[in-house]
Amino acid sequence: MTRAISLQDVSKSYTRGVRVVDRLSLDIEPGEFLVLLGPSGCGKSTVLRMIAGLEEIDEGRLLLDGEPAGQLLPAERRMAMVFQNFALYPSMTGRDNIGFPLRIESPGTDPAPRVDATARLLGIEDLLHRFPGQLSGGERQRVAMGRALARRPSAFLMDEPLSNLDAKLRNHLRAEISGLTRDLGVTTVYVTHDQAEAMSLGDRVAVLRGGVLQQVGAPRAVYALPRNVFVAAFVGVPRINLLRGLVRAPLDGAMTVSLGKQYLRLPEPLSLDHQLLRVQQGREVIVGLRSEAVRIAERSEARPGETHITGLVEHVEFQGHESLVHFNTGSRPAVVPRLEAPRPVPQARRRRREPGRVLDRLRGRAGAPRTGPVATLDPPRADTAPPEGRLPGDLIVRTAPDLRLRKGMQVPLLVDLAHLLVFDQHGERICPAPARLPDLDE
């Protein structure tokens, strides 16, 4: 039997009152595969341990199948956990490791039939007589999964189970986990910092930062419509191109987004999302362009919704099936300090007293959720060094591997404005609009 899991305004604090998890609300449907994604230290493993009962919940409620479960012991929750470090008993064989929790749960019952059935399901019959020291990393993880599976739990809780494995084996076991959990139909909560795992495994992905839920949704939606600049930068390989832009919306001319030496001319008639950008007239914004939103082509080959810019080749990364080309377009990279860090950079306190500041302090002491910017742009920099250790260039574009380009070439580029992402100075997405207005033509 699988089960529904619901977290309602759950918080957890450790030392000095710092909230590792802050007012998290999340509903997980029966049989759903949900991935908790975020940088190391963002609180995702703590969320998993609170669901399992290994950590107490300071505030909020945990519901299992609609019933309060915060006071239940871990053994009473009928969940199985798979750990990052395998957690196998070194003095026990694979058979004994898998059968151990069964002997604890039912002392008078022979666990052999369930152990054998689990081993056949995972294809590890030949590992049952070996000790953990005689197994490879992948074999140990299969035995650890077998120990969890043999209990026939109502939910699987997986805490970065593949992070200690090499890339090839990780990809193989990822496919095995996906197929196994879907065949069993068991609710699964999977913790990872690897966005490739999250996008390929999850029915939904919940992105965390600083213990705060940033966004939850289907992998395609999180990638295509990130709620803020942190989600946009954390999800996607290569990292999204983030440029400093300035919206210009003259009453008697075309609407543009200036990127420094060049600009993006928005196609007319303006789409609804582009019309809403008019309110940003004269303001600096963060422009986000995925590498597939730009292609190498002449202006004469432009499709509807594409606009023309040029780029100077700075570097070419050959990937085998594709190449990643780094261009210098004269744009200004959007430098956001520690953008992909577990927690946002604390904002400097202002000495001048502002209206409402006392009330904000009182709300903070009372435990009310405090909202703040996801990210804040640094002032423009005079130097030309690439931000955050990136290679030279301000725009990365995917190309075919057989396209011959060399450093210093001037290349025509077409930008698909249907994939244009615009964020305000605090990192919140403003285009496409967060809450879309209804289309009367649909």
* 439 within a domain of the structure (yes/no): no
Q: What is the pLDDT of residue 372?
A: 47
| Whether residue 253 is found in the same domain as residue 293 | yes
Q: Tell whether 117 and 179 lie within a shared domain.
A: yes
Tokens describing residue 439: 């289309």
Burial class (CB in 10 A: 0-12, 13-18, 19+), 8: middle
pLDDT at 2: 73
Q: Are residues 131 and 37 in the same domain?
A: yes
Q: For residue range 48-82, list pLDDT tens digits in order.
A: 999 999 999 999 999 999 999 988 998 888 898 88
Confidence of residue 212 (pLDDT cuts 50, 70, 90): very high
Helix boundaries (H) for 57-186: 94-105, 112-122, 137-150, 167-184
The predicted model gives 333-339 an average pLDDT of 80
| ∠ Cα 412 409 232 (to 5°) | 60
CA-based nearest residue to 396, from 334, 297, 314: 314
User: With 80 as the cut, is the pLDDT of residue 309 above it?
Assistant: yes
Q: For 30, which DSSP code? A: T
Token digits for 364? 């903070």
Q: Are residues 217 and 239 in the same domain?
A: no
Pair 74, 125 in one domain: yes
pTM of structure: 0.84
**Does 377 map to a domain?**
no
> Model confidence at 379, in pLDDT bands (50, 70, 90)?
low
Contact 259, 332 (CB under 8 A): yes
Shared domain for 236 and 218, answered yes or no, is: no
Task: Check whether residue 200 and residue 292 sit in a common domain.
Answer: no
Average pLDDT, the chain: 84
31 located within any domain: yes
Residues 65 and 201 in one domain: yes
Stretch 91-95: mean pLDDT: 92
* pLDDT greater than 60 at residue 389: no
Residues 256 and 204 in one domain: no
- Amino acid 373: pLDDT: 57
Cβ-in-10-Å burial (0-12, 13-18, 19+) of 399 comes to: middle
Structure tokens at 434: 């967060």
Q: Collapse the DSSP code of 89 into the 3-class scheme (helix H, G, I; strand E, B; otherwise coil) and give the result.
A: coil
Position 369 scores a pLDDT of: 37
pLDDT at residue 142 is higher than 90? no
Least confident of 10-24, 104-118, 126-140, 333-347: 333-347
As given in the structure block, the two tokens for residue 395 are: 């725009």
pLDDT at 426 over 60: yes
Residue 381 resides in a domain? no
Same domain, 155 and 301: no
173 and 165 in contact (C-beta within 8 Å)? yes
With pLDDT > 70 as the criterion, what percentage of the chain qualifies? Answer: 87
Residue 413, in any domain of the structure: yes
**Contact call for residues 224 and 421 (beta carbons, < 8 A):** no
Are the C-beta atoms of residues 53 and 73 closer than 8 Å to each other?
yes
Check which CATH number belongs to the domain holding 159 and give it. Answer: 3.40.50.300
pLDDT at 345: 64
| 278 has pLDDT over 70 | yes
**131 in Cβ contact with 97 (< 8 Å):** no
- 247: domain CATH number is 2.40.50.140
Look at residue 368 in the predicted model and tell me its pLDDT.
Answer: 37
Residues 93 and 136 in one domain: yes
In a domain, 129, yes or no: yes
In a domain, 366, yes or no: no
Q: How would residue 288 be classed by pLDDT, with cut points 50, 70 and 90?
A: very high
Greater confidence (374 vs 99) lies with 99
Structural domain boundaries, residue 407: 230-346+389-431
**pLDDT: is 92 or 184 the higher one?**
92
User: Is the predicted pLDDT of residue 436 greater than 90, yes or no?
Assistant: no
pLDDT recorded at residue 366: 39
In a domain, 42, yes or no: yes
Q: What is the tens place of the pLDDT at every residue in 145-199? A: 888 888 888 899 999 888 877 777 788 888 888 888 888 889 999 999 999 899 9
- Let me know whether 244 and 141 are in one domain: no
- 376 has a pLDDT exceeding 80: no
Q: Is the Cα torsion angle 198, 204, 210, 214 positive or negative in sign?
A: positive
pLDDT of residue 435: 66
Residue 391: pLDDT above 70? no
The least confident of 210-219, 315-324, 331-340, 355-364 is 355-364
Find the length of the chain. 442
Reply yes or no on whether the pLDDT at 29 is more than 90. yes
Mean pLDDT of 198-216: 94
Confidence of residue 253 (pLDDT cuts 50, 70, 90): confident
Q: How many domains does the chain contain in total? A: 2
Q: Is the pLDDT of residue 347 over 60?
A: no
At 64, list the tokens: 């299992």
Confidence band of 335 (pLDDT split at 50, 70, 90): confident
